[in-house]
A and B are shown apart, each in its own frame.
Chain A
């Protein structure tokens, strides 16, 4: 009952055929349908039950090398007719660009597509009542873990599922038709405690997976959230200095996201990345290897084909510190005069653009305790805040919170400081990579240590 792939495929094929009949040379249609359930509890009481199904249809069409991208959620016959006519008219407003065409047929993915196990029937055994119970159990575990936990910003459980169909067609008929479906659920707990100076301290922990049975238990999530909150009591600024900085995986994930933004084909052809022209050169410490791997079974970011309809493939982006490739979709690849490496993603309403699948900074040999243990005086960062990154120059400066490291131990909590360095230097200065890869999200990263950054505080 939840699997809508066949119906979406039929609608997408029909819209594609009608758009071609209306004058388009080539078209791509993405049709999606799915539903979300999310619940929140706070101090044991339900705060929110949010439940609904949603669908959407996106159309990219080409006519005389012009292009337009449009979307609608209205699937009624007369609405679709108007939608297609408007889309063709919009297309005529853009200006011709030789690169505006579908990928060549031989580049497109072919049946059988890899089965990546992204759908869990068991996900649906949790209804609104079951979701509330899980959130309540997790929050209760946090509240009872320590008397220092005095309040709660709540606990929430959410589940989404989605089916989608992707169809490309030209005047000779359907070029590619692929479908996919996936489930995903998550549980997060956010306890609070009161600090001596009247400040409040908040922390959180979360679990998420495509498969219900692979979530951590609510009790475990609650306990870890409480632990992470209480340890922040008494946080304060430290004096400005240069020092080694260790990033736990929650903070390191943000660094990996920035790395993606500067190897993305869109930034490269726009010359908006400091890594333009750096392929084949050392862009990070030899300890750093990064892959984008869409083919991991049950992976949060896995996909069988990309947003241009090309087959998914594993790309080694950084190998022992050397930049091996940029991540390209078809358009940016053509701009750069090369072939796509299958990294496009496509939302219903937008142009395809390079986007990470499972983007992984490969774990190293070192135990995270040792990474901290080797530091005489440094900062252990658990949270980053803000948007201080300039991809064109690599200048990086962000708000941070975490712990002071003294003689290899986390001694006291720190907040209201910034960590800064040029991102090029930051990556080159990574001198330890943990063996603790965090696989909860599609950005996977272990504990990292940067030999030297500027920490600004008092």
Chain B
């Protein structure tokens, strides 16, 4: 992408060059420390909300700043500033420096730009497209949702977009920069019939420009939201207790994200607080399961050309045929484990220090025909859409919440079920994967992961999955 609006980009009013970066790193290391980095970020965002047949509001904003980090052993000093004057940047560097207590460390002698991959090339970012085009998308989604079924009484559509420009300078002597576009389209509807109401939602996006909508027209998202709301209008009480569960392909990847993903982030393993600590090389899942974290998928919401510590996004096999192969590393934990960073050091913004985080986490497809999987279940639950999940890293217990699910009886989907939560234990559930479909899908760009108060966009994916036993939290005991 050619455009750059960031003040710290070459030619900008606060252009960063190697000499100034060296000087700032010198301040950051003025009390010692083993590593320091500078993280410049310029983010422009806009949002459009369409409600009750009109454009309700538009919004937007700009944030700009520099985060400075100094590492001293396993301790982190962090500070940031929102003005890119030399005085403010030096003050931030010297605040971050207070973590160290030894003599000054030298800044790098040379700083070289790092060559990076390009996983989301764009001709035109959406922020540069005319706003009217976005309003038109919202109107089309609204009309499609209303036209889908007469029982749809409320529709709200939204479009959010951002461009995040980052520049990372490390005391290891490299400089990385990236421009990260992100769009997210969403539709929420309410259906009503005979005094009963039900909600439904649809949406998608990723690191795309407006061409996203060529393959995913807004009508599709509007109809999907309407389909869910009407399908769930007359849902039955869900069963309670352990039973067989079949997960639909795509968004079910949340289960992986929660059940194993977080537990394989290296910080928890460095601190020995994860259930997967010391288990590399061991069988932790059914041999059907190969779990991958992959920051390189073209245009996916979780993809990154470079992580927020300056390392290229890459493909990391976490579990191979059930055997634990490795953790997701940031700089700090990689040094602890004496391995290389894996391109997983991410942060929410310049106000936050990096942590090991997932990018796009998925389960590779297996040998089974999805229809055969459903046919194999005598009584169970088919889980199709989700509102989110959560995990307790230490004991591995995780939940995820279903917003569209069906009872399976004698190999067929029968009644729609009321919203229900599934709870399981990560290491245990993956050993209970007994069938895996050949129908892999990646989620369509809607998920955001929260950890330690920081949110980052992620992707998930799975084929159809059968779990032999997991607790379904219905009301019908």
Residues in A lying within 8 Å of B, measured CB to CB: 42, 45-52, 54-55, 67-74, 76, 83, 86, 90-91, 93-97, 128, 151, 153-154, 192, 195, 198-202, 235, 237, 240-242, 270-272, 274, 276, 349-351, 385-393, 395, 397-399, 401, 415-422, 454-458
Contact = CB atoms under 8 A, between A and B. Distances in A.
Interface stretch (B72-80, B214-222, B309-317): B72-80
Interface stretch (B318-326, B357-365, B367-375, B394-402): B394-402
Interface string B92-127: 100100110000000000000000000000000000
* Chain B facing A: main interface SS: strand
B199 A392 contact: yes
Nearest to B59: A69
Contacts of A401: 392, 397
A456 B240 contact: yes
A390 B60 contact: no
Contacts of A50: 76, 78-79, 353
A416 B471 contact: yes
Given A52-B81, A388-B419, A272 B58 contact: no
B395 A151 contact: no
A276 B153 CA distance: 14
A276 B272 CA distance: 48
A52 B92 contact: yes
A72 B396 CA distance: 40
A125 to B, nearest CB: 18
B376 interface: no
A386 B421 contact: yes
B266 to A, nearest CB: 15
Given A49-B78, A415-B395, 18 more contacts: A48-B353, A52-B78, A52-B92, A71-B62, A97-B56, A128-B98, A200-B273, A270-B51, A387-B401, A393-B197, A397-B401, A398-B399, A401-B392, A418-B471, A419-B473, A422-B475, A454-B473, A456-B241
Given A90-B58, A416-B397, A49 B240 contact: no
A272 B351 CA distance: 35
B403 interface: yes
A50 B348 CA distance: 15
Nearest to B469: A458
A271 B190 contact: yes
Contact of B397 (A47, A93, A415): A415
Given A46-B99, A52-B80, A202-B273, A390 B242 contact: no
A385 B474 contact: no
A185 to B, nearest CB: 16
B55 A93 contact: yes
B264 to A, nearest CB: 15
A454 B59 contact: no
B3 interface: no
Given A54-B351, A241-B477, A416-B423, A385 B397 contact: yes
Contacts of A154: 271
A200 B395 contact: yes
Contacts, number: 261
Kindly state the interface size class of chain B when it binds its partner. 35 or more
Nearest to A86: B60
A419 B353 CA distance: 36
B335 interface: no
B399 A388 contact: yes
Nearest to B50: A95
A68 B47 CA distance: 10
Interface in B364-389: 387-389
B63 interface: yes
A330 to B, nearest CB: 14
A248 B390 CA distance: 20
Contacts of B395: 195, 199-202, 235, 415
B194 interface: no
28 contacts: A51-B98, A52-B81, A74-B83, A90-B46, A93-B55, A94-B54, A95-B56, A96-B54, A97-B54, A200-B274, A201-B395, A202-B273, A235-B395, A241-B477, A270-B154, A271-B197, A276-B197, A391-B199, A395-B418, A397-B401, A399-B390, A418-B423, A420-B238, A420-B473, A421-B475, A454-B476, A456-B472, A458-B471
B399 A399 contact: yes
Contacts of B392: 202, 385, 401
A422 B472 CA distance: 16
A276 to B, nearest CB: 8
A398 B63 CA distance: 36
Contacts of B92: 52
A390 B388 contact: no
B192 interface: yes
A86 B46 CA distance: 11
B474 A456 contact: yes
B273 A70 contact: no
A72 B61 contact: yes
Contacts of A153: 271, 273, 394
